[in-house]
Amino acid sequence: MLEDTTEPYVVSINISPGGIPKRPVEAVRVSSAGLEGDGHSHEKHMTPLQAVCLQDAEKLEMFSQMGYPLLPGTAGENLTVRNLNVNVLPLGTVLQFSGGVEIELTKVRKPCYVMDAIHPQLKEDAVGRHGMYAKVLREGILKKGEHIQMGRTSFAHEHINP
């Protein structure tokens, strides 16, 4: 495990047949449709531009300190990452995982009514810190603990409003 590193890495990979919470797995096949075994329970999420959802472990820890019981996958993210600060990265940023998978950030994730099941105030408190969606550029197997490098920034999705 890479817990002592300052490099960005995957803390947890989370999947669910649909809805939250998502459960952690050690490794998963990633395709343009998303993570194998992960369902999208609402039609608005069924798009290649939202194939993968990322959230920072540090944000989950912050929410826990605020009294919200959030662990990796609880809020519905597929990838819980550390040392990345995904919400400050520009749309179009390409993330390259050490095992070969590549994704491109496409959209800021907005908290929705599903968060009400965790706590009625969470949806409001999570605005602007709820992670990002991404599309898959290079398919492959992704494993927990993989390092993440920021690659080029594409401007193909600048038109998508956060």
**Domain extent for 32:** 9-153
* Degrees to nearest 5, angle at CA 127 with 63 and 24: 50
Which tens digits make up the pLDDT trace of 90-141? 999 999 999 999 999 999 887 665 665 666 666 566 666 678 999 999 999 9
pLDDT band at 74 (very low <50, low <70, confident <90, very high): confident
CATH of the domain at 13: 2.40.33.20
* Average pLDDT of the residues in 64-69: 84
Asked if residue 25 belongs to a domain, the reply is yes
Q: How far apart are CA 79 and CA 54, in angstroms?
A: 5
The average confidence (pLDDT) of the chain is 84
Residue 20's SS3 state is coil
Percent of the chain with pLDDT over 70: 76
Total domains present in the chain: 1
Residue 160: pLDDT over 50: no
- Asked if residues 132 and 109 have their Cβ atoms less than 8 Å apart, the reply is yes
Please, what's the b/e burial string for 20-48 (b: 16 or more CB within 10 A of its CB; e: otherwise)?
A: bbbeebeebebeeebbeebebeeeebeee
Asked if residue 160 belongs to a domain, the reply is no
Q: What percent of the chain is helix, strand and coil (3-state, nearest 5)?
A: 15, 35, 50
Asked if residue 162 belongs to a domain, the reply is no
Asked if residue 126 belongs to a domain, the reply is yes
pLDDT score, position 129: 65
Alpha carbon 102 to its chain centroid, in Å, reads 13
